[in-house]
Chains A and B, each alone.
Chain A
Amino acid sequence: MGLKVLAVDDSKTMRDMVSFTLKGAGHNVLEAADGCEALQVLGGDRVDLVITDVNMPNMDGLTLCREIRANPTHRLTPILVLTTEADGDKKNEGRGAGATGWIVKPFNPEKLLQVVNKVCP
């Protein structure tokens, strides 16, 4: 059964690719271009998973993580952070902000689905 996934990235290319991959795997995808838009899209609705970039205008990915965790509705929604940096710093920051896991770029469709599978029932 498909998941309802919110993909957040300021790059349309990246959103398109994430979206395409997830849809290909039978999931439903909502999109947002930054943290603010993501919170608007989320509203009071539940999603099964949030995938977000870190560096975005208006509201970055880490702030988005904290905002989502602070909301009782989404407190336990898995959040995956897309990072380019393979170093531990960004991962720790992500974790500190409440992220569930991370996907290290470059973007790779198989890897994405693998990780999604890892954090979603």
Chain B
Amino acid sequence: MSTNDFDLDQFKATYFEECAELLIDAETRLADLQHNPENVDAEDLNAIFRVVHSVKGGAGAFSFDQLVGFAHIYEALLDRMRQGQIQITEEIVSLLLTANDILTNLIQAAQDGISVPEEDFVDVKNKLNLLAFGEDDSSPVEDTETTATSDPDKGLKKYLISFIPKPELLQHANEPLLLVREMKGLGDLTTTVNTDRLPNIQKLVSDEAYFSWNFELVSECSLNDVEEVFEFVTEDCELEITIASPDDTSDQADTQEVSETSPPQTSAPEKSLETTKEQAVAAMQAPTIPSPPPPAAPGQAPAAAASPAAPRVSSIRVDLDRVDRLVNMVGELVITQAMLRQQVDNLPPELAAFMAKGFEDLGMHTREIQESVMAVRMQPVKSVFARIPRLVRELAAKLGKKVELETSGEHTEVDKTVIEQLSDPLIHMIRNSLDHGIEETPEDRIKVGKPELAIVNLSAEHRSGRIHIIVTDDGRGINRERVKSKAIEKGIISADEHLSDEAIDDLIFSPGFSTAEEVTDVSGRGVGMDVVRRNISNLGGRISVQSRPGKGTKFVMSLPLTLAVLDGMVVAVGKEKFIISLTSIIESLRPAKTELHKLSNGADVVSLRGEYIRLVRLHRLFNIPNAQKDPSKALVVVVEIEGGKQVGILVDELLGQQQVVIKSLEENYDPVDGISAATILGNGMVALILDVDGLDAMARQVNHRSDRNDLENENTDTTLLSENSKSLIQTADISEEKVDIPLSKETQNLEVMEQN
């Protein structure tokens, strides 16, 4: 079979996938070591060793030489450590962390098909070398193949081989006959069996070795080739290989013919005769050295031997595609089920009652299947969290800060689709905490009476059907003066604007905002917190910040557990039906006429318990005919949007709660403003899922367009509402009276109104 038949490249994808998993495991365990260097769990070291071992094994098969070289030294050090030959100190652990980072880089480089400049990691490599081998410059991978030189004497040789097997040979499942077969492949073989040791048949023991052999091998092969035949059994037999004098020409002449019919293997590398002679002597002496007694089996690895009885979590690897297909099909099933259920209501009563029972069961089972399938895709956030320690280490080193990362809740599970989207915003939050949150230098911290070591805490938890990712630091908190002046400078707010502390903190999420004097290469990757907020919001999530000056900052990111299904409220506007995510709904109400006000720019607000809430008229945004336009005759669904603000969505009626399967609009159609996705209702109709944040933005833009159907007495010199929060407070003209209307609750509206 040719080499092409075994193209190993097809396994590279699996390898890199596996590497990614292995690295996560190593990272996690290294973090354990870091926190507890005095009391090391032996299994942690073993597991990290296995990770590096596996990485190296695969890298070798694909000839990623740089990776193999580094992994080899790293592995050797870990091996010495797990054997207790090296004391584990903080320095060692930090060296391991660095080594692991380099390993990660090398794997990435191998995946990208590039190589990493040696000088990038030569220092670490030397340090590892020194610890692992006690030398500074060892050739990492010994390559015996290339050092072999070709045999100058290519002529036929005659080998005399005496072979006396020990019982161990058979007990290790080696078979003398196979050795004979192997030698026959090398050249012309004459075999003599010595049966002297064979006892009387009654005394015969089945796995005792009684035969011994004398072979005469005439071949062009090297001594090395002959020795290789006995490679596995040298310790389990008495073996003597001698080369008959080269000038024994008669033998050579005699066997010439034969060896032509069975050509010797010449592909194997050959060594010079000088070295082979030395090896021959060694080989002849070797058998006289008694082989070490087999170690006592039970004592060797008690932990491992005990494990078969222990319960094991068995798992299988499944392609994500298959799971996705299953999730989709279950989604369809849910829809079909709901469609059928609706048809039941059209049946004659006696039949309907009969069917209803069946549908109740069917509905329950469907729901259960759906939950089970969704559970398959649930994964602990650990895979995302595991990347963070490294990020923190690298950033802290770059910024000259001393930071320790604490994590908790890494086993909190969330849908795989969410996991994939979690990483970027999380990294940004962590960067932000390290760059802006924590004091400039450790000395600065000591000056304000804080410990030198800053703590960044990362945690995950489930809260009311969502996952909360919380990043807390014990840094200096948001500098509100600076944020405010920056916001004024950038024109995000006006200079005389009165904002609460929370509102100022929230400004860091405003588009175009960045407090760093200049863009640093840590936080400033061209992406501001506004983009983070937008991305999170696209996932149906929220991000908020709480800060205490001098004490620290806390970012809370809240995301749905899955992006595949949604618990929604079905609402009707005209003939259209929309879905509003239940988690964003606060309340629904029908406002009295006196509670409705109109701003000079055409925007409607409803006053609710002393606060003013902007109304979003869906029929106007989406041009829906025959909708109820009078809010006092329709319904207002109050929803929470970004930054804890509230808006009221005007709908005709609420049709009920329903779990819906999310169908991406981007994938199946095109993105639409104000719509986050679509779904199919029980009657087969497509209903759109509202993106409440997007609606709010749209409403602000649309408000300045005059809508002649709705606005009869529009004031012509109104101030336009712009998208940003500068326009949150506008001098407005409401009916007869003139007051300032703050549009969000954090602007502490009443106070402002009274001041004016």
Chain A residues in the interface with B (C-beta under 8 A): 10-14, 16-17, 20-21, 24-25, 35-37, 39, 53, 55-60, 62-63, 66-67, 69-70, 75-79, 82, 84, 86, 92-93, 95-102, 105-110, 113, 118-121
B144 located at the interface, meaning its Cβ lies under 8 Å from any Cβ of chain A in the complex: yes
User: In the docked arrangement, what's the CA distance between A58 and B174, Å?
Assistant: 28
Shortest CB–CB separation between residue B166 and chain A, in angstroms? 12
Q: Which residues of A contact B11 (CB under 8 A)?
A: 13, 16-17, 20
Supposing A11-B54, A95-B236 touch, asked if A76 and B173 sit within 8 A by C-beta, the answer is yes
Shortest CB–CB separation between residue A6 and chain B, in angstroms? 14
Shortest CB–CB separation between residue A65 and chain B, in angstroms? 9
Which residues of B, 27-63, contact A by the 8 Å Cβ criterion?
Answer: 46-47, 49-50, 53-54, 56-61, 63
User: In the docked arrangement, what's the CA distance between A24 and B8, Å?
Assistant: 12
Shortest CB–CB separation between residue A33 and chain B, in angstroms? 9
Chain B residues in the interface with A (C-beta under 8 A): 1, 3, 5-6, 8, 11, 14-15, 18, 46-47, 49-50, 53-54, 56-61, 63, 68, 75, 142, 144, 170-175, 177-178, 182, 207, 231-232, 235-236, 291-292, 294-295, 297, 300-301, 304-305, 307-308, 312, 317
Asked if B56 and A84 make an inter-chain contact with CB atoms under 8 angstroms apart, the answer reads yes
User: In the docked arrangement, what's the CA distance between A106 and B65, Å?
Assistant: 11
Asked if B3 and A110 make an inter-chain contact with CB atoms under 8 angstroms apart, the answer reads yes
B172 is contacted by which of A82, A95, A118 (Cβ under 8 Å)?
Answer: A95
Closest chain A residue, CB of each to CB of B228: A118
Closest chain A residue, CB of each to CB of B43: A57
Asked if B57 and A59 make an inter-chain contact with CB atoms under 8 angstroms apart, the answer reads no
Closest chain B residue, CB of each to CB of A24: B5
B312 is contacted by which of A11, A58, A77, A102 (Cβ under 8 Å)?
Answer: A58
Q: Which residues of A contact B235 (CB under 8 A)?
A: 92, 95
Q: Which residues of A contact B53 (CB under 8 A)?
A: 55, 84
Shortest CB–CB separation between residue B78 and chain A, in angstroms? 11
Asked if B6 and A77 make an inter-chain contact with CB atoms under 8 angstroms apart, the answer reads no
User: In the docked arrangement, what's the CA distance between A97 and B295, Å?
Assistant: 7
Shortest CB–CB separation between residue A20 and chain B, in angstroms? 7
Supposing A70-B297, A86-B144, A102-B232 touch, asked if A36 and B312 sit within 8 A by C-beta, the answer is yes
Asked if B142 and A12 make an inter-chain contact with CB atoms under 8 angstroms apart, the answer reads no
Asked if A77 and B173 make an inter-chain contact with CB atoms under 8 angstroms apart, the answer reads yes
Asked if B317 and A39 make an inter-chain contact with CB atoms under 8 angstroms apart, the answer reads no
Asked if A100 and B182 make an inter-chain contact with CB atoms under 8 angstroms apart, the answer reads no
Asked if B294 and A96 make an inter-chain contact with CB atoms under 8 angstroms apart, the answer reads yes
B182 is contacted by which of A58, A66, A106, A118 (Cβ under 8 Å)?
Answer: A118
User: In the docked arrangement, what's the CA distance between A17 and B699, Å?
Assistant: 59
Asked if B300 and A13 make an inter-chain contact with CB atoms under 8 angstroms apart, the answer reads no
Shortest CB–CB separation between residue A113 and chain B, in angstroms? 8
User: In the docked arrangement, what's the CA distance between A16 and B592, Å?
Assistant: 70
Closest chain A residue, CB of each to CB of B172: A100
User: In the docked arrangement, what's the CA distance between A61 and B300, Å?
Assistant: 12
Asked if B54 and A119 make an inter-chain contact with CB atoms under 8 angstroms apart, the answer reads no
User: In the docked arrangement, what's the CA distance between A94 and B672, Å?
Assistant: 65
B61 is contacted by which of A56, A79, A105 (Cβ under 8 Å)?
Answer: A105
Asked if B173 and A108 make an inter-chain contact with CB atoms under 8 angstroms apart, the answer reads no
Shortest CB–CB separation between residue B584 and chain A, in angstroms? 42
Closest 8 CB pairs of A and B: A106-B60, A109-B6, A101-B232, A107-B61, A13-B15, A11-B54, A66-B297, A78-B173
Supposing A63-B304, A100-B174 touch, asked if A10 and B3 sit within 8 A by C-beta, the answer is no
A60 is contacted by which of B144, B178, B304, B317 (Cβ under 8 Å)?
Answer: B304
User: In the docked arrangement, what's the CA distance between A121 and B294, Å?
Assistant: 26
Q: Which residues of B contact A109 (CB under 8 A)?
A: 3, 5-6, 8
Supposing A92-B235, A95-B235 touch, asked if A106 and B61 sit within 8 A by C-beta, the answer is yes
Shortest CB–CB separation between residue B663 and chain A, in angstroms? 34
8 contacts between A and B (CB under 8 A): A35-B304, A58-B304, A66-B300, A79-B173, A101-B174, A109-B5, A109-B8, A120-B178
Shortest CB–CB separation between residue B221 and chain A, in angstroms? 15
User: In the docked arrangement, what's the CA distance between A75 and B3, Å?
Assistant: 34
A13 is contacted by which of B3, B14, B75, B308 (Cβ under 8 Å)?
Answer: B14
Q: Which residues of A contact B47 (CB under 8 A)?
A: 57
Q: Which residues of A contact B18 (CB under 8 A)?
A: 11-13
User: In the docked arrangement, what's the CA distance between A84 and B61, Å?
Assistant: 11
Q: Which residues of A contact B46 (CB under 8 A)?
A: 57
User: In the docked arrangement, what's the CA distance between A24 and B5, Å?
Assistant: 8
User: In the docked arrangement, what's the CA distance between A66 and B18, Å?
Assistant: 29
Q: Which residues of A contact B59 (CB under 8 A)?
A: 106
Supposing A57-B50, A105-B61, A107-B60 touch, asked if A12 and B292 sit within 8 A by C-beta, the answer is no
Asked if B172 and A56 make an inter-chain contact with CB atoms under 8 angstroms apart, the answer reads no
B6 is contacted by which of A13, A21, A39, A76 (Cβ under 8 Å)?
Answer: A21
Supposing A35-B304, A59-B305, A96-B294 touch, asked if A101 and B231 sit within 8 A by C-beta, the answer is yes
Asked if B307 and A105 make an inter-chain contact with CB atoms under 8 angstroms apart, the answer reads no
Shortest CB–CB separation between residue A41 and chain B, in angstroms? 12
Determine which residue in B6, B174, B291 has the highest number of CB atoms from chain A within 10 A of its CB, and name it. Answer: B6
A24 is contacted by which of B6, B14, B57 (Cβ under 8 Å)?
Answer: B6
Closest chain A residue, CB of each to CB of B309: A36
A105 is contacted by which of B57, B178, B294, B317 (Cβ under 8 Å)?
Answer: B57
Determine which residue in B46, B61, B75, B304 has the highest number of CB atoms from chain A within 10 A of its CB, and name it. Answer: B304
Q: Which residues of A contact B14 (CB under 8 A)?
A: 12-13, 16
Asked if B57 and A106 make an inter-chain contact with CB atoms under 8 angstroms apart, the answer reads yes
Supposing A95-B235, A106-B60 touch, asked if A36 and B307 sit within 8 A by C-beta, the answer is yes
Shortest CB–CB separation between residue B17 and chain A, in angstroms? 8
User: In the docked arrangement, what's the CA distance between A105 and B313, Å?
Assistant: 30
A16-B11, A63-B301 are known contacts; what are 17 more A-B pairs with Cβ within 8 Å?
A13-B14, A14-B54, A35-B304, A36-B312, A56-B50, A57-B47, A59-B307, A77-B173, A78-B174, A86-B142, A92-B292, A98-B173, A105-B61, A109-B3, A109-B8, A110-B1, A121-B175
Q: Which residues of B contact A11 (CB under 8 A)?
A: 18, 54, 57-58
Determine which residue in B68, B177, B178, B291 has the highest number of CB atoms from chain A within 10 A of its CB, and name it. Answer: B178
Shortest CB–CB separation between residue A105 and chain B, in angstroms? 5
A110 is contacted by which of B6, B58, B300, B312 (Cβ under 8 Å)?
Answer: B6
Closest chain B residue, CB of each to CB of A16: B11
User: In the docked arrangement, what's the CA distance between A36 and B303, Å?
Assistant: 12
User: In the docked arrangement, what's the CA distance between A118 and B6, Å?
Assistant: 20
Closest chain B residue, CB of each to CB of A109: B6
Asked if B301 and A60 make an inter-chain contact with CB atoms under 8 angstroms apart, the answer reads yes
User: In the docked arrangement, what's the CA distance between A70 and B172, Å?
Assistant: 11
Q: Which residues of A contact B60 (CB under 8 A)?
A: 84, 105-107
Asked if A62 and B1 make an inter-chain contact with CB atoms under 8 angstroms apart, the answer reads no
Asked if A121 and B50 make an inter-chain contact with CB atoms under 8 angstroms apart, the answer reads no
Q: Which residues of B contact A25 (CB under 8 A)?
A: 1
Closest chain B residue, CB of each to CB of A50: B173
Q: Which residues of B contact A119 (CB under 8 A)?
A: 173-175, 178, 232
Shortest CB–CB separation between residue A74 and chain B, in angstroms? 9
Asked if B50 and A100 make an inter-chain contact with CB atoms under 8 angstroms apart, the answer reads no
Q: Which residues of B contact A82 (CB under 8 A)?
A: 57
Asked if A62 and B174 make an inter-chain contact with CB atoms under 8 angstroms apart, the answer reads no
Closest chain A residue, CB of each to CB of B13: A13
Shortest CB–CB separation between residue A78 and chain B, in angstroms? 4
User: In the docked arrangement, what's the CA distance between A57 and B54, Å?
Assistant: 12
User: In the docked arrangement, what's the CA distance between A60 and B3, Å?
Assistant: 31
